[in-house]
């Protein structure tokens, strides 16, 4: 190689991928619905380095849909996008104006804002992580930036390779190991449109089954069927809302996947049926490591089918995980994914499990310097290559195979998978959580920006282990965990076996009362959560959004968030705090305390009391929030709807409600726009419906805010257009903002 050959290649060029075959994995691309990609108004351009012998026109491991990218004969101003290639690392430099605020790149402990930070995309088993942990369990090579002059920018690096993103004041550099790749640049007027474009590229999340939005109870581990039954019985005796109980690794025979410990779990179908009769769904864990044991049918089938990751000599790579020495499925191979799917299918059909938890799937390998498979290990699918190329996709491909198995076992039901390891496009396959956190106030505070960042990175279905996975928790911290978790997309309590117990009753009766109340609030908010997930499905919007979605001046706030379009949640995240100030987005007519006595704030900040057991939650003036009855689980009859109508200064309000059966794949739904207007002492409602979903018999109640004298309550009649005569009950009808004409 000559000195000239060693010089970095500095180019910036546009390479449209409209002709690129973007469907290399039919198994994992298979979708529950046939709806096409999300529509959006963003402009997408694709840049690629001009490197001899390399072409971007090949299957993408990240993108789900083939897109018609804008073809451009000329490129942007010199220096805005630059590539450097030294035959081992590709550096992509994107410049932006000073004052740009950058977000995304998946979950990382610390602030939501990424400016001044370097984050590594390399899926890592990060036990008890901290603010300086270089990488966590997932890789999201995507950055979302707010530009100082208005508008939003998205940058997607189309690679599964190890990537280091270094965010500076005037731009970002992505350093990609091993091979060239392309950069997709997305521009739009708003962050919502940029996220819609991302969802169009990687595939939108599917609507989850409704039970997956309830509370889930887990522990490492419930050691026997009797213990599981005892937990379920007490849940119902204490009247704690709960939809699922989870089984960690101790349900297995010697920690071997797809098995049951015969003495402690002698009748899995009987246990799962008994839990179902009480309204619980059962989710069980599965790891990728398969014990090396010639007496195991699973291992022998894997060896005979050459389904395991190999070394350069064609021998299966071995590593230590919970069962001991294990081999690891090569999920890049279509035949291996099909084999794994068959194992999942049989496991579910024989046991009756409702969901699957994919864990340790970075993959995590114990007692090794890197904690994972050797980067030189060989994969034989997707064009083949070293593990360094496929490492970040390993958990993603395992999810694809797992979902295929669930669908085969339950073809008419929506699959539910939780995964620890993921890549950018995994969100339409599985939910996720923030990993093995600790029972500390720091971890509680990190949970908010971590969930927000995952949502900004195309993964809207996430949450932390409530109570903290590792360590001891006191009553105050325990309650605050659940008060936050009640408003997050995924809500699961979890703890490890060497830490004190963390079931809702474990910290005493006072804490139990507060936890029960928090989970009851979640159950009442289920109609709003279902609606928010429909927005994620159709528009790419995460249920939890940063405040700067509404007001760019709040670019640094990451201790409060928007839930859906119209709720602002401001949890307590520090010890000994019983009140807090809440920054209010200026883009709104005002804010009411949700469910309060009619107090309203019209700008700046709201100062709110927040004793233990009370979370500050505000509702936007001009919104309608529809709540349900606080049931013990989603399978119980939903016989009540309460419409919280928050009038704006004009005496108007509107809201969106999405309803569906919530279990099967059929497209039966009702998408409803509710409009309310006060005029002449009469409150008129008009409902605009799309779709068809037979409405069960429900009582509808009104709670009206925005008038002097506090909230007014009434029973709402049935129908899609009706009026209430408010003057007949007397009192003052002046607006709390001003007199309504």
The alpha carbon dihedral of 373, 374, 375, 380 has a sign of negative
Using an 8 Å Cβ cutoff, are 50 and 9 in contact?
A: yes
Region 651-668 average pLDDT: 91
Using an 8 Å Cβ cutoff, are 724 and 683 in contact?
A: yes
- Which DSSP symbol is given to 71? P
Taking only the tens place, the pLDDT of each residue in 410-451 is: 999 999 999 999 999 999 999 999 999 999 999 999 999 999
For residues 545 and 541, give the distance between their C-alpha atoms in angstroms, rounded to a whole number.
Answer: 8
Using an 8 Å Cβ cutoff, are 307 and 339 in contact?
A: yes
pLDDT level of residue 13 (50, 70, 90 thresholds): very low
Dihedral, 673, 678, 681, 684 alpha carbons, nearest 10: -20
pLDDT at 86: 92
Of 290, 71, 67, 53, which is closest to residue 179 (Cα–Cα)?
53
pLDDT of 226 > 90? The answer is yes
pLDDT level of residue 730 (50, 70, 90 thresholds): low
CA–CA–CA angle 515, 516, 520 (5° rounding): 115
Question: Could you say which of 45, 158, 362, 465 is catalytic?
Answer: 362
For residues 727 and 732, give the distance between their C-alpha atoms in angstroms, rounded to a whole number.
Answer: 9
> Is 362 a known active-site residue?
yes
In this prediction the pTM is 0.94
Taking only the tens place, the pLDDT of each residue in 110-135 is: 999 999 999 999 999 999 999 889 99
For residues 314 and 311, give the distance between their C-alpha atoms in angstroms, rounded to a whole number.
Answer: 5
For residues 288 and 359, give the distance between their C-alpha atoms in angstroms, rounded to a whole number.
Answer: 8
Tell me the HSE value of 324 on the side-chain side, using a 13 A CA sphere: 6
pLDDT of 557 > 70? The answer is yes
pLDDT of 76 > 70? The answer is no
In three state form, how does the secondary structure of 437-478 look?
CECCHHHHHHHHHHHHHHHHCCCCCEECEECCCECCCCHHHH
pLDDT at 696: 78
Taking only the tens place, the pLDDT of each residue in 282-312 is: 999 999 999 999 999 999 999 999 999 999 9
- Which DSSP symbol is given to 6? H
pLDDT of 588 > 90? The answer is no
End-to-end CA distance of the chain: 81
Of 305, 395, 391, which is closest to residue 356 (Cα–Cα)?
395
Of 269, 415, 248, which is closest to residue 322 (Cα–Cα)?
248
> Is 436 a known active-site residue?
yes
> Is 720 a known active-site residue?
no
Name which of 74-88, 248-262, 587-601 the model is least confident about: 74-88
Burial of 44 (0-12, 13-18, 19+ CB in 10 A): buried
pLDDT of 182 > 50? The answer is yes
pLDDT at 603: 80
Region 50-73 average pLDDT: 60
Region 136-152 average pLDDT: 96
For residues 582 and 570, give the distance between their C-alpha atoms in angstroms, rounded to a whole number.
Answer: 7
Region 182-192 average pLDDT: 94
pLDDT of 689 > 80? The answer is yes
Region 162-171 average pLDDT: 96
Average pLDDT, the chain: 90
pLDDT at 562: 98
Is residue 516 left, alpha or beta, with left meaning phi > 0 and alpha meaning psi from -120 to 50? alpha
For residues 384 and 333, give the distance between their C-alpha atoms in angstroms, rounded to a whole number.
Answer: 9
Residue 189 is encoded by which pair of tokens?
């007027």
Taking only the tens place, the pLDDT of each residue in 495-540 is: 999 999 999 999 999 999 999 999 999 999 999 999 999 999 999 9
Residue 42 is encoded by which pair of tokens?
């963003």
pLDDT level of residue 64 (50, 70, 90 thresholds): low
CA–CA–CA angle 139, 141, 142 (5° rounding): 125
pLDDT level of residue 663 (50, 70, 90 thresholds): confident
pLDDT at 732: 57
Domains of the chain and any CATH numbers: 3-202 (2.60.40.1760), 547-616 (2.60.40.1180), 623-729 (2.60.40.1180)
Residue 583 is encoded by which pair of tokens?
């920054």
Could you tell me which residue, 21 or 136, shows the higher pLDDT? 136
Of 228, 210, 214, which is closest to residue 268 (Cα–Cα)?
228
For residues 98 and 178, give the distance between their C-alpha atoms in angstroms, rounded to a whole number.
Answer: 31
Region 487-491 average pLDDT: 98
Tell me the HSE value of 480 on the side-chain side, using a 13 A CA sphere: 27
Share of the chain above pLDDT 90, in %: 80
Of 634, 637, 583, 588, which is closest to residue 605 (Cα–Cα)?
583
Taking only the tens place, the pLDDT of each residue in 360-394 is: 999 999 999 999 999 999 999 998 999 999 999 99
pLDDT level of residue 584 (50, 70, 90 thresholds): very high
Using an 8 Å Cβ cutoff, are 283 and 246 in contact?
A: yes
pLDDT level of residue 36 (50, 70, 90 thresholds): low
pLDDT at 709: 87
Question: Could you say which of 193, 250, 359, 443 is catalytic?
Answer: 359
pLDDT level of residue 207 (50, 70, 90 thresholds): very high
Taking only the tens place, the pLDDT of each residue in 229-271 is: 999 999 999 999 999 999 999 999 999 999 999 999 999 999 9
pLDDT of 148 > 90? The answer is yes
CA–CA–CA angle 162, 159, 390 (5° rounding): 60
Strand bridging mode 385-386 / 378-379: antiparallel
Name which of 13-22, 415-424, 625-634 the model is least confident about: 13-22
Contacts of 59 by beta carbon, 8 Å cutoff, 6+ apart: 20, 21, 22, 23, 24, 382
For residues 566 and 556, give the distance between their C-alpha atoms in angstroms, rounded to a whole number.
Answer: 20
């Amino acid at each position: 190689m000559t000195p000239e050959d060693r010089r970095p290649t500095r180019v910036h060029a546009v390479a449209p991928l409209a002709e690129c075959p973007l469907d290399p994995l039919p198994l994992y691309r298979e979708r529950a619905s046939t709806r096409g990609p999300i529509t959006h108004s963003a402009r997408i351009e694709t840049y690629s380095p001009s490197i001899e012998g390399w072409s971007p026109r090949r299957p993408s491991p990240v993108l789900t849909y083939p897109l018609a990218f804008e073809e451009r004969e000329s490129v942007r101003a010199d220096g805005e996008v630059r590539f450097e290639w030294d035959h081992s690392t590709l550096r992509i430099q994107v410049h932006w104006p000073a004052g740009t605020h950058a977000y995304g790149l998946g979950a990382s402990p610390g602030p939501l804002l990424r400016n001044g930070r370097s984050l590594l995309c390399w899926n890592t088993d990060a036990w008890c992580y901290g603010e300086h942990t270089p990488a966590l369990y997932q890789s999201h090579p995507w950055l979302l930036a707010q530009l100082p002059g208005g508008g939003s920018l998205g940058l997607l690096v189309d690679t599964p390779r190890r990537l280091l993103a270094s965010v500076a004041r005037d731009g970002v550099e992505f350093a990609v190991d091993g091979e060239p790749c392309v950069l997709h640049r997305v521009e739009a007027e708003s962050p919502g449109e940029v996220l819609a474009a991302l969802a169009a590229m990687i595939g939108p999340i599917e609507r989850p089954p409704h039970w997956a939005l309830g509370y889930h109870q887990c522990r490492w581990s419930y050691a026997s069927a009797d213990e599981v039954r005892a937990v379920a019985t007490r849940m119902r005796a204490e009247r704690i809302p709960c939809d699922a109980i989870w089984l960690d690794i101790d349900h297995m025979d010697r920690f071997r996947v797809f098995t049951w410990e015969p003495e402690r779990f002698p009748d899995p179908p009987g246990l799962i049926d008994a839990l179902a009769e009480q309204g619980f769904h059962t989710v069980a864990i599965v790891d990728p490591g398969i014990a090396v044991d010639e007496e195991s049918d699973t291992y022998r089938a894997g060896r005979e089918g050459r389904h395991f990751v190999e070394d350069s000599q064609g021998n299966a790579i071995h590593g230590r995980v919970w069962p001991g020495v294990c081999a690891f499925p090569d999920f890049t191979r279509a035949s291996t994914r099909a084999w794994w799917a068959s194992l999942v299918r049989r496991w579910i059909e024989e046991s009756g499990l409702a969901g699957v938890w994919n864990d340790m799937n970075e993959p995590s390998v114990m007692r090794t310097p890197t904690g994972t498979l050797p980067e030189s290990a060989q994969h034989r699918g997707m064009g083949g290559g070293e593990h360094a190329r496929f490492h970040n996709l390993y958990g993603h491909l395992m999810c694809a195979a797992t979902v295929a198995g669930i669908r085969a076992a339950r073809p008419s039901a929506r699959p539910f998978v939780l995964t620890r390891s993921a890549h950018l496009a995994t969100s339409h396959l599985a939910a996720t959580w923030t990993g093995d956190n600790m029972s500390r106030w720091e971890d509680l505070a990190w949970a908010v920006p971590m969930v927000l960042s995952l949502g900004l990175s195309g993964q809207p279905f996430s949450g932390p282990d409530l109570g903290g996975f590792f360590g001891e928790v006191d009553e105050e911290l325990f309650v605050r965990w659940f008060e936050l978790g009640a408003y997050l997309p995924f809500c699961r309590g979890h703890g490890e076996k060497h830490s004190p117990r963390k079931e809702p009753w474990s910290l005493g009766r006072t804490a139990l009362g507060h936890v029960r109340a928090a989970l009851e609030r979640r159950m009442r908010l289920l109609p709003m959560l279902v609606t928010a997930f429909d927005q994620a499905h159709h528009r790419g919007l995460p249920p939890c959004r940063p405040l700067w979605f509404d007001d760019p001046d709040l670019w640094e706030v990451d201790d409060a968030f928007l839930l859906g379009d119209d709720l602002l949640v401001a949890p307590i995240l520090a010890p000994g705090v019983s009140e807090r100030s809440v920054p209010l987005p200026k883009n709104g007519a005002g804010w009411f305390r949700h469910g309060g006595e009619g107090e309203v704030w019209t700008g700046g900040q709201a100062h709110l009391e927040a004793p233990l057991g009370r979370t500050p939650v505000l509702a936007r003036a001009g919104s309608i929030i529809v709540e349900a009855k606080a049931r013990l689980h989603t399978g119980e009859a939903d016989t009540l709807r309460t419409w919280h109508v928050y009038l704006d200064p004009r005496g108007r309000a509107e809201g969106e409600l999405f309803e569906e059966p919530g279990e099967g794949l059929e497209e039966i739904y009702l998408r409803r726009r509710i409009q309310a207007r006060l005029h002449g002492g009469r409150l008129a409602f008009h409902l605009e419906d799309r779709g068809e979903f037979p409405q069960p018999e429900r009582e509808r109640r009104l709670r009206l805010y925005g008038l002097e004298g506090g909230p007014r309550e009434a029973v709402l009649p049935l129908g899609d257009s009706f009026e209430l005569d408010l003057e007949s009950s007397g009192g003052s009808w002046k607006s709390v903002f001003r007199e309504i004409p």
